[in-house]
Amino acid sequence: MVHYIGTERLRELVSRVGCGRFIEELAAEIAADYQRWNEFEKSARLASHSTVGVIELMPTTDGKLYSFKYVNGHPKNTAQGLLTVTAFGVLADVSTGYPLLLSEMTFVTALRTAAICALAARHMARAGSRSMALIGNGAQSEFQAIAFHQLLGIRELRLYDTDSRATAKLIRNLARLQLQDLTVIRCGSTAEAVCGADIVTTVTADKCNATVLTPEMIEPGMHINGVGGDCPGKTELHGDILLRPDARIVVEYEPQARVEGEIQQLNGAGRVTELAQVLLGKQSARATELEVTIFDSVGFALTDFSSLRYLHRLNSEQPDGGQRIDLIPEPDDPKDLFAGLTPQTSRLRRRRTA
Ligand SMILES: NC(=O)c1ccc[n+]([C@@H]2O[C@H](COP(=O)([O-])OP(=O)(O)OC[C@H]3O[C@@H](n4cnc5c(N)ncnc54)[C@H](O)[C@@H]3O)[C@@H](O)[C@H]2O)c1
């Protein structure tokens, strides 16, 4: 029987730990796996593009466990009352190939993206960063706000979204959370939100080469946490920001980021550093207080692997042990799969009626 975590179970698990602590523990799990970077089989994700969005498969393994995530990105979905990003994933045992866990990953994607962004910012933003502009106040935004409050010590959030209802929703949700010492400022434009911020997070959704941030908005020493540019033809930063001589760019996995990230605009040129090298202490992400650092996040399979393993452990540790589903047949004789299709001989059926 395969463990199953649906959206309701995920909500329970997060509320038992608390959202901030959950993200912090996830960030530690992710950091530990990025330290083992060379042990993982890595590949750019398999993406199927359409005119309105993308559906992607994201696999990886360390030789012991295997994981994949199914995820979509459809920026126009919200107009129909649907989420822009949904996901689910599987963790499997390499020694048998059997799945161990089938899990929802829509919430998990938001949690793990916030975790890795905050983790990267810990190494990239100036020490003592306290204010963050948050551009794009949709589904991912609360998670980014919580992660940066919890892991970085952000105490001022400057919000802007082209949809004022999204900003109102974010303000409402943040007020309910009562995060310690947090000041939330609603701004009238991206430029107003960005002005004077230590960190700028862009987490917008639009299937185009947008210029959410333009060169004159960028101040020396800023850290840019670019989350929404994650597909070919879908970016958020004006290309000149990437070409600044004082810019340092960090990505999750370079072969994938070259195709999907902001750096697709560099057409293969320019130096970028992989986050693993920073976490391993082999490269530094910031040399001076004046450099502009850019985390060009697109989302990488290893982050999902860490999340699924963390969830599997957390779920199994609960007193109830979690729900299991009959995803895989369990015939008495593994060579007699056919018997499982016959109600009289189905082991599952016999158990239920026992
Ligand atoms: N890097 C990663 O690992 C990762 C993970 C998850 C999601 N994402 C990406 O993050 C983005 C946000 O996802 P979401 O689920 O929050 O989407 P969402 O549709 O819920 O929210 C996006 C928000 O951006 C706003 N917006 C669009 N263009 C804007 C602009 N020019 N200026 C200001 N606001 C603007 C929209 O009004 C909307 O409120 C998506 O592009 C998604 O693909 C990346």
What is the rounded distance in angstroms from the CA atom of residue 298 to the CA atom of residue 295?
A: 9
Summarize pLDDT for 182-240 with one digit per residue, the tens: 999 999 999 999 999 999 999 999 999 999 999 999 999 999 999 999 999 999 999 99
- Which residue, judged by its Cα, is nearest atom 11 of ligand 1? 228
Q: Note the pLDDT tens digit of each residue in 245-287.
A: 999 999 999 999 999 999 999 999 999 999 999 999 999 999 9
Ligand 1 midpoint to CA 74 (Å): 10
Ligand 1 centroid distance, CA of 141 (Å): 8
Shortest-distance atom of ligand 1 to CA 141: 16
Ligand 1 atom at minimum distance from 85 CA: 15
Mutate to test the pocket of ligand 1, among 77, 169, 187, 203 (most ligand atoms within 8 A of CB): 203
Ligand 1 pocket, CB under 6 A: 73, 75, 78, 84-85, 109, 113, 135-140, 160-163, 166, 190, 203-206, 210, 212, 227-228, 230, 297-299
Instruction: Specify the ligand 1 atom closest to the Cα of 73.
Output: 43
Residue 132's pLDDT is 98
Catalytic positions, please? 230
What is the largest distance, in Å, between two alpha-carbon atoms of the chain?
73
Distance of CA 54 to the CA centre of its chain: 16
Gap from CA of 229 to ligand 1 centroid (Å): 9
For residue 212, the ligand 1 atom closest to its alpha carbon is: 31
Q: What is the pLDDT of residue 70?
A: 98
| pTM (2 d.p.) | 0.96
Collect the ranges in the chain with pLDDT lower than 50: 349-350, 352-354
Q: Report which protein residue has its CA nearest ligand 1's atom 33.
A: 161
Q: 204 alpha carbon to ligand 1 midpoint, in Å?
A: 3
- pLDDT confidence of residue 343: 73
- Give residue 347's pLDDT: 52
Q: Which of 49, 171, 207, 227 to mutate to test the pocket of ligand 1 (most atoms within 8 A of CB)?
A: 227
